């Protein structure tokens, strides 16, 4: 089935954001290890990486707003809800375990990684319940 205009726009946005992210994170890490980044440049690379990840959340929200097919929109929203429940549950459990010094603390950017992983779980849930992954899975 052909992708809708909203889904094509989402894929373009995601490709642009992830391209900038990969260049920033990989280039930044190599440059930092080589001693080529001063403090302001290091901050700029870190902020650019974080803004790209935030942009992915924006791109998904735009997809929900722009998608005209109600069924596809429902699949995307369900996927996001599963991802949110999954990532916040893991973050809360990890937070309490680390607060009681059972496990080590973890960098916060892993919460976003968990959320993106949760999107995959949401796609599986949609496939099981509705027989489809959706058009953007």
Do 63 and 7 contact (CB within 8 A), yes or no? yes
What is the mean pLDDT of the segment spanning 120-130?
Answer: 96
The residue with greater pLDDT, 37 or 134, is 37
Instruction: Please choose, from the candidates 75, 84, 76, 93, the residue with its C-alpha nearest in 3D space to the C-alpha of residue 115.
Output: 84
Residue 113, classed as helix, strand or coil, is: helix
Provide the greatest CA pair distance for the chain.
52
pLDDT digits (tens, 9 = 90+) for 22-70: 999 999 999 999 999 999 999 999 999 999 999 999 999 999 999 999 9
Q: Is the pTM of this model over 0.75?
A: yes
What is the mean pLDDT of the segment spanning 111-124?
Answer: 96
Share of the chain above pLDDT 70, in %: 96
What is the mean pLDDT of the segment spanning 108-115?
Answer: 96
Do 122 and 83 contact (CB within 8 A), yes or no? yes
pLDDT digits (tens, 9 = 90+) for 80-97: 999 999 999 999 999 999
Do 37 and 44 contact (CB within 8 A), yes or no? no
Cβ-in-10-Å burial (0-12, 13-18, 19+) of 30 comes to exposed
């Amino acid at each position: 089935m052909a992708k809708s205009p909203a889904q094509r726009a989402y894929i373009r946005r995601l490709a642009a954001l992830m391209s900038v992210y990969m260049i920033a994170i990989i280039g930044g890490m190599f440059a930092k290890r080589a001693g080529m980044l001063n403090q302001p440049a290091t901050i700029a690379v870190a902020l650019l990486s974080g803004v790209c990840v935030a942009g992915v959340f924006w791109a998904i929200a735009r997809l929900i707003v722009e998608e005209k097919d109600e069924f596809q929109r429902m699949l995307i929203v369900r996927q996001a809800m599963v991802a949110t429940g999954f990532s916040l549950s893991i973050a809360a459990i990890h937070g309490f375990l680390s607060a009681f010094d059972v496990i080590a603390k973890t960098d916060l950017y892993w919460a976003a990684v968990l959320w993106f992983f949760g999107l995959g779980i949401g796609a599986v849930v949609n496939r099981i319940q509705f027989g489809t992954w959706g058009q953007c899975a």
